[in-house]
Structure 1
Amino acid sequence: MGSSGSWYSLVLSILLVSIQGNVLANGSQNKFYPHAPPMKTIQNEYGDQIDCVDFYSQPAFAHPLLRSHKFQMKPSFLPKDLLKDAPSDTNLTAMPKLSLGVNGTCPEGTVPILRGPQDPNIVTKSHRSLPSLQYSTAGHEYAVVSMSGSKYHGSSALLNLWNPLVDANEVGFSLGQLWAVSDINGAINTVEAGWHVFPKFYSGDTRTRLFIYWTSDGYKKTGCYNLKCPGFVQVSTKLAPGAVLPASTYKGSQLYLNFFVYRDPKTAHWWLRVADEWIGYWPRTIFTTLASGATRLEWGGEIINGGTTVHTTTDMGSGHFPSEGLDGVSASFNNLQYVDQNYKVMKPTSVSPIVPRPKCYDLKLFGDVGGNRGYTFFFGGPGRNANCR
């Protein structure tokens, strides 16, 4: 599909953006996707309904700052030393093959969008936090590593996939993700991607799913999960934010997935790649400071402690501490890398662990163990236990 598109699609897009612009403000959440009727709808083996929507009619182009946006279909440049996605270490199994499901694919010229309602209050209340800001009053708890002190243009990691138990009585989630953050004079911008289990967001569904998030004002008014507000421009026809991901099994098969966020040096858009698929990008115009690069990178796990009198029983990672065992027992992040200000791919030389409640959720840092496993740490825990109440 060329960037000019067909005349018909362009006219239709302009009309739709005009209509949507009256409904969607910058960063606001909409209960249903207000896109045009899909060209095709897929129901996958999990019961999800996935709409194949005309590229120009996706939610992103309803953003006031993107009405005349000149889009990209792939990054303009990639560092030549970007390491391969597939792990070669014998302790790591091959990454799962991802798709929209066994019941079909979206046609060229469309993008897949997971259909479904949501409570907008869940979005604004649940993700207003950042590990390094230590928002203890927000109920967020972490086991992450952080690095700062330079300008960064990308971040990647091989995430171990799990399906943690999330307390059904709380508006909570459990996730493993990476953050690229710009924090200049308190103006916090982020792009975030990984896997999560978030029952309240997905109408009770407890499967592990791919997710994205962004904010341009420190989680106050802008940003959202997946495509629930205009901003992220999707280009993939094969994979959609919100897609179900397979999970590892305790002392059994271990599954891993590579996530990579990357600032294009020509356009300054922040791109997302999952495995070998470019999902799309966050345009530079929706940010205030992140367009020039990130000032901090973070990787790890997060939960919400929604308990009022006792600690939540929500798992982080596999629900087991690294002290109980490593591969097959606790969850891991592998092959941590970053893209420096000269667009050279680097391994961290040092990071700072952030583990505010190690008796509830802990982290064991190994550093660079070599091979494609690279810079590695294990994390997680069960939440409420004899030492965590």
Structure 2
Amino acid sequence: MITHSVVVVVRRWLLVLIVVLLPLCYGGIVSISGQKLDDVDKQLKHLNKPALKSIKSPDGDIIDCVHISHQPAFDHPLLKNHTIQMRPSYHPEGLFEENKESIPKSNEGISKSITQLWHLNGRCPEGTIPIRRTKRKEILRARSIKSFGKKQHGIIPEPTMSTQPINLSAHEYAMVVVQGDKYYGTKATMNVWKPIVQQSNEFSLSQLWIVAGSYPSNLNTIEAGWQRDAYNTTGCYNLFCSGFIQTSNKMALGGTISSISAYGSSQYEYNFLVWKDTTRSAWWLQFGNEVVGYWPTSLFSYLADSASKIEWGGEVLNYASGGQHTTTQMGSGHFPKEGFGKASYIKNIQIVDGSNNLIAPIGVSTFAPQSNCYNVRMGNNNGWGHYIYYGGPGRNPNCP
């Protein structure tokens, strides 16, 4: 099976990047009472690289400033002799500029530059990258030592799947999809919330998916967005799996971001851009105005060329405890019909075409199999371009 995820998260209300590329390793359940702690410490030694400087964050995190050439990416056998690219050779052209005059003031979110809590106590020097230090208790929370830091594997949904039975003890989606062409990236603006997650082994995320190949045998994806509570997972978060090469010394993948949206109040939003640099054979990630890093195309099979599908929206892992649907919220926890200031949104949705231009997607369809639990609505106007509202509360009288 060709699936390996590198997920870049910001914890609690999280930034998330998932890349599915190489075989996943599924570990069995580990009995903590029978598992030697030195196995955990061995894993910690592997994950936590030697630091040139360490910064204590107000939220209790420790951010290690690790030399850029010693980051986990270079544990990957295909990257042993890789030469680091510090910047892309180009950016996509035609970046969407909001026409502020066409948007009522009440419908304007607050675009924020990258701000993480650890910035209050210091910054990492040039030539290093910030890595959030993993703690022993976090590994012990995982289903197994091998599964720590991995995203629960789920089916990347097809629009036609809405007619098929849905397994409630699985992944649920409310999203929009475009497919049928070659795609070279996407840009979108997402507002960030703090959804309530019912139990620690569930998660709620909002993101974009860049997809090539098919599940289960040949699937590549790149996923970027924000996530709430996700340490018990499959496919890798942050830098837990080697592959993603970070170049930014400003952003700690897995570190808490400081500004989130509030119901009926300020809406905080962030831009995400992922695109393929064909000159340097890499998929680059940009968060806000900060180029964070890249995935070399040599790590991919199908995404080595282009994507065949792009998706935007939300995902929840629902374990249906006690035979009932989870109360884990998606987005703001409110349905899209409530609109701005109450429901989650993704706006300025664009794709990168073969000429490196950002253009509006054509032929977008919705996918929300459990619409009484989580739903999605899309629209288009001069101010927000293509946009969606999505999300929901999970269990409610219409979603038992």
Flag whether TM exceeds 0.5 (same fold): yes
**62-71 or 77-86, which deviates more:** 77-86
For the pair 1:43 / 2:69, whether they are aligned, the reply is no
Q: State which of 225, 240, 244 in structure 2 corresponds to 1:232.
A: 244
Equivalent residue for 2:328? 314
Q: Which residue of 2 aligns with 1:132?
A: 158
Once residues 28 and 51 of structure 1 are traced to their aligned partners in structure 2, the CA distance between those partners, rounded to angstroms, is: 27
Match of 2:206 in 1: 176
Report the count of equivalent residues.
Answer: 342
Alpha-carbon offset, residue 82 of structure 1: 2.4
Which structure 2 residues correspond to residues 164-243 of structure 1 after superposition, within 5 A? 164-168=195-199, 170-183=200-213, 187-198=218-229, 200-201=231-232, 223-243=235-255
Supply the AA of the counterpart residue of 2:335.
F
Q: Aligned to 1:150, which of 176, 181, 193?
A: 181
Which residue pairs with 2:300 in the alignment?
287
Counterpart-to-counterpart distance in 2, 1:50 and 1:63: 23
Q: Percent identity among equivalent residues?
A: 40
CA contact (8 A) 2:238 2:253 kept: yes
Q: What is the Cα deviation at residue 45 of structure 1?
A: 2.0
2:129 alignment partner in structure 1: 111
CA contact 1:160–1:256 (8 Å) conserved in 2: yes
Match of 1:301 among 300, 311, 314: 314
> In 2, Cα distance between the equivalents of 1:383 and 1:65?
42
Q: Note the alpha carbon deviations across 1:238-269, whole angstroms, 9 max, x for none.
A: 00221212210000010110011110021221
User: What SS does the corresponding residue of 1:131 show, helix, strand or coil?
Assistant: coil
The 5-angstrom pairing of residues 12-27 of structure 1 reads: none
- For each residue in 1:146-189, what CA deviation from the matched residue of structure 2 results, as whole angstroms up to 9, or x when unmatched? 11111111111100110000012x51100100011112695210
- Alpha-carbon distance, 1:124 to partner: 4.8
Q: Is the 8 A contact 2:48 2:134 kept in 1?
A: no
The residue identity in structure 1 corresponding to 2:394 is G
Maintained 8 Å contact 1:152/1:296: yes
Within 5 Å, which residues of 2 pair with 1:227-266? Answer: 227-245=239-257, 246-266=259-279
Query: Deviation of residue 98 (structure 1)?
Result: 1.8
| Residue in structure 2 matched with residue 19 of structure 1 by the alignment | none
Larger RCO: Structure 1 or Structure 2 (Cα < 8 Å, ≥ 6 residues apart)?
A: 2
Q: What RMSD in Å do the two structures reach over aligned CA positions?
A: 2.5
1:97, distance to aligned residue in structure 2 (A): 2.8
Quick one: distance in 2 between partners of 1:31 and 1:194? 27
User: CA 1:174 to 1:56, structure 2 compared with 1: closer, same or farther past 3 Å?
Assistant: same
* SS across alignment from 1:126: coil
Structure 1 residue 93 corresponds to structure 2 residue 109: yes
Q: TM-score, normalised by structure 1?
A: 0.82
In the aligned structure 1, how far is the partner of 2:296 from the partner of 2:204?
Answer: 27
Look up the match of 1:162.
193
- The within-5 A match list for 1:338-377 is 338-366=351-379, 368-371=380-383, 373-377=384-388
CA distance in 2, matches of 1:85, 1:237: 29
Deviation at 1:123, TM superposition (A): 4.8
Task: Give the distance between the partners of 1:35 and 1:243, measured in 2 at CA.
Answer: 15
Q: Any stretches of 5+ residues in structure 2 without a counterpart?
A: 1-21, 27-41
Structure 1 residues 86 and 197, CA, compared in 2 at 3 Å: closer, same or farther? farther
Instruction: Look up the equivalent residue of 1:131 and give its one-letter code.
Output: P
Deviation at 1:201, TM superposition (A): 4.5
Q: Give the partner amino acid of 2:224.
A: A
Q: Which amino acid aligns with 1:93?
A: G
Compare 129-138 and 91-100 and name the one that shifted more: 129-138
Q: Sort the Cα spacing of 1:129 and 1:122 in 2 relative to 1 into closer, same or farther, 3 A.
A: farther
Aligned to 2:38: none
> Letter of the aligned partner of 1:198 in structure 2?
D
2:256 and 2:360 map into 1 onto residues whose CA distance is: 30
Query: Alignment partner of 1:121: what SS?
Result: coil
Deviation at 1:341, TM superposition (A): 1.6
Residues 96 and 348 of structure 2 are in contact (CA less than 8 Å); yes or no, is this contact kept in structure 1? no
Q: Is the 1:27–1:230 Cα contact (8 Å) retained in structure 2?
A: no
Distance 1:45 1:97, change over 3 A: farther
**Distance in 1 of aligned mates of 2:279 and 2:183:** 15
Q: Is the 8 A contact 1:27 1:224 kept in 2?
A: no
| Cα separation, 1, equivalents of 2:326 and 2:94 | 43
